[in-house]
Amino acid sequence: MENLGGRLRELRKQKGISQRELASRSGLTNGMISLMETNKVNPTVASLLKVLDAISVPVVEFFESEPLDQKQVFFQPGELPDIGSSDVVLKLVGGEVAGRKFAVLHETYPPGTDTGPELMSHNGEEGGFVVRGLIEITIGEQTRVLKAGEAYFFNTITPHRFRNVSNETCEIVSANSRG
């Protein structure tokens, strides 16, 4: 999303919340909220989820734009918005389809990348399948490195993190619901 900060600012104002209030609700600093809203920093996935949770906006709704013709069932690569942050690429299938109940993602983690230093949590469930490479996944107290052909499924209220600890790119196909 080109203007992620502007979208965050717009939603915050629609909810009638000040930057200071949003900072308090999300556990981030007021300065970080300001930097995010002015597109001076790209938030980690965990930080973005904290902000969206604080304003009660599901991540899939945040990235929706104008609804597409609901008859569209096939999508070209250019029609998959990247909802990731920094070097982690999270391509959302049918990103502009309004009213979705779950999200399907094609995730790409270059060597050494992760979803951020903090564990993230949000309402919903998530499952995925490692297509290529290795990924270290921490879910609560459990940490495991999964390789191609292995999969995961968990309740996303449990704090979690994804990290590529290998020297090769990791690809995952995942689906998640978000309350």
79-132 pLDDT per residue, tens = 888 888 778 998 988 876 767 778 899 999 999 999 988 898 888 899 999 999
Tell me the one-letter amino acid at 59: V
Contact 34, 27 (CB under 8 A): no
Chain segment 9-66, per-residue pLDDT in tens: 888 888 888 888 898 988 888 888 988 888 888 788 778 888 888 888 877 677 765 4
- Give yes or no: residues 81 and 147 share one domain: yes
- Give yes or no: residues 83 and 163 share one domain: yes
Q: Indicate the residue among 62, 85, 101 that finishes a domain.
A: 62
Range of the domain at 94: 77-176
Across 141-154, average pLDDT = 97
Query: Residue 80 carries which DSSP code?
Result: S
- Give yes or no: residues 170 and 87 share one domain: yes
Number of C-beta neighbours around residue 5 at 10 A:
20
- Give yes or no: residues 84 and 172 share one domain: yes
- Give yes or no: residues 57 and 82 share one domain: no
pLDDT exceeds cutoff 90 at 143: yes
| The predicted structure's pLDDT at residue 68 | 46
- Distance between CA 161 and CA 156 in Å, rounded? 10
Contact 60, 103 (CB under 8 A): yes
